Amino acid sequence: MKLYAANLDFQPVAEEFKVQRSFPAEVTAEAEVLTDRYADSRRDARDIPLVTIDPAGSKDLDQAVAIETRDGGYRVFYAIADVAAFVEPGGAIEAESFRRGQTIYLPDEPARLHPPELSEDKGSLLPDVDRPAVLWIFDLDSAGEVEDFSVERALVRSRARLDYDGVHEDLVNGSMHSSIALLPEVGKLREASALRRDAVNLRLASQRVQENEDGTFSLITEPRHEVMDYNSEISLLTGMCAGQMMTKASVGFLRTLGEATEESEAEFRREAAALGYEVGESITSFLQSVDADSPRGMAVMREAAKLLRGANYVYLGEDEAEVHAGIGGYYAHVTAPLRRLVDRFATETCLALYAGEDIPEWVTAKASEVADVMRSTTGKASQVDSACLRLTEATILQPWVGQNFDAVILQTNEEKENSRALVVEPPVMAYVSGTPEEGTETAISLIEADVTTRNVTFAWPAD
């Protein structure tokens, strides 16, 4: 699904939010001579037939997976890029990573956490080359529940760089790569486990800005392939085991998310009803049944995201343990160290705890700062993403000011005399001047698409 094309310049957004995309010379110089600091203490795991699954064209490959059967269940191998092996404490790359916190994705060029010499080369789990990794191994029973797991440093060699569209096509054709032939089976079992925990599982379709070959940009909505959810389950499994390990030891980094309030649940049920859905007793089960690729399904998933508020990072050396309501338990970010600062520190904590060793001083000394940086940069990343999307919508819709669009009214605010609506085609969430009844399918008029302010406004009734 594509919404026209337009010439766009995202540099003003980068400047507004002080997002730096290039790297200082000293960071680049340090990156060019990186070596593996733990080369002499790795298990040789190059015999494991790992593969990566990422969006097409990705070069910053954080994870590689392979799954096999075992007596009574499954064994999952999950290799994570060992970024700590290259980042010298006190060095220029470390200092720059604290300034950035995480990769911020602008549509034309991302502002990466690490220089490309690390994130797209030496640290990336590219195919057919030896790479340092942190290897998690999970033994699951026949229901997909964890019986045992381990984590250690290893040397790995990915067999293939796969992308979601290709893996989806292979799934449909029954020709999955042998390393991940069991991924759908294990993914479904893990999804069932999530349902038993009553976790809120959001299957958000990716609406993003895509650069075209002619240099213009389009607003597209990517299909939510099943393999994306199956692959996510392996990452969630890893984060849950890491979170449980650190919580048990009362030290480490947790990603937390508050539970939905009664008021937010009631509001979600009203908005879902406006979109034509009957939620039923269990919101969790309802969300699992929604077609997340349909316009209304995309809208209801986006509204469900508001159920889970108050996302945070806590350091257990100073803060109390809190659960992640979207997971249904304790959870940690450990699977994307090329893109998030905290993953490097949380992973190092897990390695030390599993080995029964002291956590390195370079981890504990900056633990509070890591949590603070993640809080602030997560907010910035969300603001940048929203600004880019709104700029694209305003630019693309600008020629259509005065035209009518079909919409579904999600929420009406009589006091402010406005409402929120889903524009059916293209699927855009928008504010509407006017207060039609919630759930109404109606035409609304585009009255503003201001590129400077990035505001898009519709009016009801339509002209």
Domain boundaries, the chain: 10-258+310-397, 401-459
Pairing of strands 2-6, 217-222: antiparallel
Helices assigned H by DSSP within 336-434: 341-355, 361-364, 367-397
Which element (helix H / strand E) includes 288?
Answer: helix 283-289
Say which residues have a Cβ less than 8 Å from residue 365's Cβ, sequence separation at least 6: none
Give the C-alpha distances (Å, rounded to integers) separating 103 from 94, 235, 382.
14, 18, 11
Q: What is the mean pLDDT of residues 433-457?
A: 92
Has residue 438 got a pLDDT over 90? no
Least confident window among 141-145, 151-155, 283-287:
283-287
Mean pLDDT highest for which of 167-171, 273-277, 299-303? 167-171
Cβ-based burial of 265 (10 A; exposed 0-12, middle 13-18, buried ≥19): middle
Has residue 228 got a pLDDT over 60? yes
Cβ-based burial of 16 (10 A; exposed 0-12, middle 13-18, buried ≥19): exposed
Has residue 249 got a pLDDT over 60? yes
Least confident window among 95-109, 135-149, 385-399:
385-399
Instruction: Find out whether 83 and 338 touch, Cβ atoms under 8 Å.
Output: yes
- The whole-model pTM stands at 0.88
Integer Cα distance of 93 and 26 in angstroms: 8
Instruction: Find out whether 48 and 110 touch, Cβ atoms under 8 Å.
Output: no
Which DSSP category does 57 fall into? T
Least confident window among 6-20, 297-311, 367-381:
297-311
Has residue 4 got a pLDDT over 60? no
What is the band of 270 on the pLDDT scale with cuts at 50, 70, 90? confident
Which DSSP category does 252 fall into? S
Integer Cα distance of 343 and 280 in angstroms: 37
Q: Based on DSSP, count helices (H) and strands (E) in the chain, helices before strands.
A: 13, 17
Integer Cα distance of 196 and 329 in angstroms: 12
Half-sphere exposure of 270 (CA within 13 A, CB side): 13
Beta bridge mates, 422? 408, 429
Integer Cα distance of 107 and 104 in angstroms: 10
pLDDT in tens, 11-66: 999 999 999 999 999 999 999 999 999 999 999 999 999 999 998 889 999 999 99
Superfamily of domain 401-459: Nucleic acid-binding proteins (2.40.50.140)
pLDDT in tens, 320-361: 888 887 787 899 999 999 999 999 999 999 999 999 999 999
Residue tagged 């990422």 (tokens) = 54
- pLDDT recorded at residue 109: 86
- Long-range contacts of residues 319-322, Cβ cutoff 8 Å, at least 24 apart: 319/371, 321/247, 321/250, 321/254, 322/254, 322/256
At residue 21, φ and ψ (nearest 5 deg) are -95, -30
At residue 419, φ and ψ (nearest 5 deg) are -150, 170
Residue 328, SS3 per DSSP: coil
What is the band of 395 on the pLDDT scale with cuts at 50, 70, 90? confident
At residue 337, φ and ψ (nearest 5 deg) are -70, -20
What is the band of 114 on the pLDDT scale with cuts at 50, 70, 90? very high
Which DSSP category does 429 fall into? E
Q: At what angle do helices 367-397 and 92-100 cross, to 10 degrees?
A: 50
Residue tagged 């507004």 (tokens) = 16
Integer Cα distance of 259 and 249 in angstroms: 24
Mean pLDDT of all residues belonging to the chain: 90
Both structure tokens of 249: 């030891």
pLDDT in tens, 211-224: 777 777 666 666 67
Both structure tokens of 48: 């494991």
User: Which amino acid belongs to residue 453?
Assistant: T
Integer Cα distance of 6 and 312 in angstroms: 36
Instruction: Find out whether 86 and 123 touch, Cβ atoms under 8 Å.
Output: yes
